[in-house]
Amino acid sequence: MISNKIFDTHSHQWFLFGRDNSKPERIIDTNQYLIKTRSNALLMDPGGIELFAPMLASLVKELPLEQITHIFASHQDPDIISSLGLWDKTVPDATLYSPKIWEGFLRHFGMEHIRFKGIADQGESIVIDGLQLDFIPAHYLHSSGNFNVYDAQAKILMSGDIGAALENVDAPIFVEDFDHHIQFMEGFHKRWMPSNRAKNDWIARVRQLDIDMMCPQHGRIFKGDDVKRFLDWFEALEVGSACHQIAI
Amino acid sequence: MSLVPQNSSVFYINAAAVAAQLHKAKKIAQRVMLASSNAGVLAFRAGQSAAGFGALTSFISELAKKTVKMSDEINTIAIDISKLSTYSLSTQSASEKMHWVMKNAERSSHNSAHIESLVKPMMQVDALLEEQEMAIAAKVRQLSEQLSEMKKELSSAKIIGTMSLMESTQAESQHRAALADNAKNIVDAATEIEQHVDTSLALMKAALLAQKSNNTGI
């Protein structure tokens, strides 16, 4: 699994963990993100059970484990957080931030020690070592309770499944040619994003943010103008339309 | 050195299977309770000639009640073992992964600057695993003892059933067949329950053997 520092200032750093070529076959590749502040850290969408060991091995290269005081799960999917029961035994003093509606479901993954802090539907902000992080509502994209994480200082939006692309495990980290990249995103967004109304609501919200990097949970990171290109492309895309068995 | 100190997680399937066996045994014991009540009525109708049979039906009824109670108790222990083993499996998985990371960090030339921060959670997980293994072992002992106790009670039930069968021959001819049929049903039921208990004992024994071979790496 690669570990890549994608943002660095004196106050905090962003790391991407992913492109795990040791993962078992037929398991979707995922991006995990970490924000490291002076004495704390937020681990975002820490991944599935199968990824736990390589993630742990990657993390101890960057910080002591007890510094992981916050965990964020954008939604309830297994590739996002099925490793929860293992993190529960590794960083038992951490707090998990996730959509409020998923608490009863997430506990099925095992959570005896980690504290659960449900995020209200309208979103919330937290401050870690002076760094404000905003949980931006992204409901129904694709999960019925779903959030992104926005760091206004770094101008980074961790967008979860929005912007995800299904590519090989050796794909580059950043989008290099947006038009060429569409082929890897289109099917995913048409199938996994069910609501044009929810999509447009999210786009309107996100257009108000100052974003240098948009970091999805699968595939490549969008930088600079590619963020706007993505929003324009997504706006024009008819989502919830890839299942031909259903007459839409 | 073995990466994982112990492994009692082999119990979780077998304990669940024991719970299922005991559930079946309980259903049969409930049937025996009804049968012994019917046998009591039959003996009363048969009068003096079936007085010996009548006296035995109350013993059978008591034994059946005891079997139902014991089945419930053993079932609870079996379910506890299954739950504990499932928790233990998750702890074992965490332990294995942590040991893997530690071992690879030691071997690897890559810089794992903060690998020492894994020592504390790893020790906590290993201690928890040991604690869970001990709790499972205690429950397994308790379960095996209760199953053996139940087996003894069933031997008594079979003896009383056989005695009832003999007593039925003393009854007047018009009641004899019905009483004999009833006594035979009780013996058959006790035999059937005993089979479920034997299967349960065998399941526990198999789990203990599997655990032993896991721990010794055979």
Measure in Å the smallest separation between the Cα of B51 and chain A Cα atoms: 59
Instruction: Confirm or reject contact between B90 and chain A (CB < 8 A).
Output: yes
Q: For residues B155 and A238, what is the distance between their CA atoms, to the nearest angstrom?
A: 73
3 state DSSP class of A27: coil
Q: What angle do CA A159, A162, A168 make, to 5 degrees?
A: 105
* Chain B touched by A126 (CB under 8 Å): no
ipTM: 0.86
Q: What pLDDT does A190 receive? A: 96
CB contacts < 8 A (A, B): 62
DSSP chain B: --SSS---TTHHHHHHHHHHHHHHHHHHHHHHHHHHHHHHHHHHHHGGGGHHHHHHHHHHHHHHHHHHHHHHHHHHHHHHHHHHHHHHHHHHHHHHHHHHHHHHHHH-SS--TTGGGGHHHHHHHHHHHHHHHHHHHHHHHHHHHHHHHHHHHHHHHHHHHHHHHHHHTTS-HHHHHHHHHHHHHHHHHHHHHHHHHHHHHHHHHHHHHHHHHHHHT-
Query: What number of residues does chain B have?
Result: 218
Q: pLDDT digit string (tens) for A1-12?
A: 999 999 999 999
What is the pLDDT at residue B215? 67
- Please name each of the domains of chain A with its CATH number: 2-236 (3.60.15.10)
CA distance B190 to B142: 23
Q: Cα-flanking dihedrals φ and ψ of residue B181, to 5°?
A: -60, -40
A92–chain B Cβ distance below 8 A for any pair = yes
User: Please, what is the average pLDDT of chain A?
Assistant: 95
Range 39-78 of A in CB contact (< 8 A) with B:
49, 52-53, 56-57, 59-67
Kindly report, residue by residue over A189-198, the tens digit of the pLDDT.
Answer: 999 999 999 9
Residue A245 has pLDDT above 70, yes or no: no
pLDDT, greater one: B108 or B29: B29
**Interface touch B111/A89, C-beta < 8 Å:** no
Which of B94, B115, B116 comes nearest A89 by C-beta?
Answer: B94
Nearest CB neighbour to B101, from listed A49, A57, A110? A57
First to last CA, chain A: 40
Report which of residues A24 and A142 the model is more confident about.
A142
